[in-house]
Amino acid sequence: MDGSIAGQTAWVEVCRLEEIPRQGSRVVATAARGEVALFRALDDAVFALEDRCPHKGGPLSQGIVHGHAVTCPLHNWVIDLASGEAVAPDKGCAPRIPVRVEAGRVLLALGGRG
């Protein structure tokens, strides 16, 4: 199944907001996208990226979250959490997954690319 029904995206609950530490991350395993890193900023904004740095595939979930960015633990690439894009001068993109928070529940759109 591709996660959509009649053109609409199916949202899947993956955890509660409080299960993601502020300025931290949590990894969830999905059949559709593999390991997905959920990030929670200090302002409670939540982002979801495939858990692979576009540089050498490092685990972004183990990086340091600062503002709305994460620094890869392997080679210090900075990835913008909203877009998945590497911050200049680096180039590359970690695929993002649409995410939303409803009543403290974190939901992912696992059928579509962000």
Q: For the chain, which residues score pLDDT lower than 70?
A: 1-8, 111-114
Residue 62 and residue 70: Cα distance in Å, rounded? 9
State the pLDDT at residue 3. 44
Token pair recorded at residue 64: 């340091």
φ, ψ of residue 20 in degrees (nearest 5):
-110, 120
Fold classified for 10-109: Rieske Iron-sulfur Protein (2.102.10)
Q: Is the pTM of this model over 0.85?
A: yes
